[in-house]
Amino acid sequence: MHGNETTRSPYPQNRNNNTDDSKQEGDPKPKSYAQPGTTATTTDGASTGVGLYAIILLGGALAFAAYTMMNKQSSE
């Protein structure tokens, strides 16, 4: 290399100090969509577990009641 030559970068220079070169002043704003997991209708794991536990407990109580009722009827 000669003394009066400057090295050129393989990357283009950012002439305007914007961080995003693809946006211009007149461009419309992008549409915003709801992020997954932010709606009020989603259930977390804890509430699902409590509901499942309640259903199993209720089913067990009904099965026990049916069992004792059938034993009472068969002993008569």
**Residue 76: both structure tokens together:** 């008569």
List the pLDDT tens digit at each of the 76 positions of the chain: 555 556 666 666 655 555 555 777 877 887 777 676 655 555 567 788 899 999 999 999 999 999 999 999 988 7
The per-residue pLDDT for 38 is 57
Cα–Cα dist 15/5, whole Å: 22
One-letter amino acid of 10: P
Return the pLDDT at 28. 80
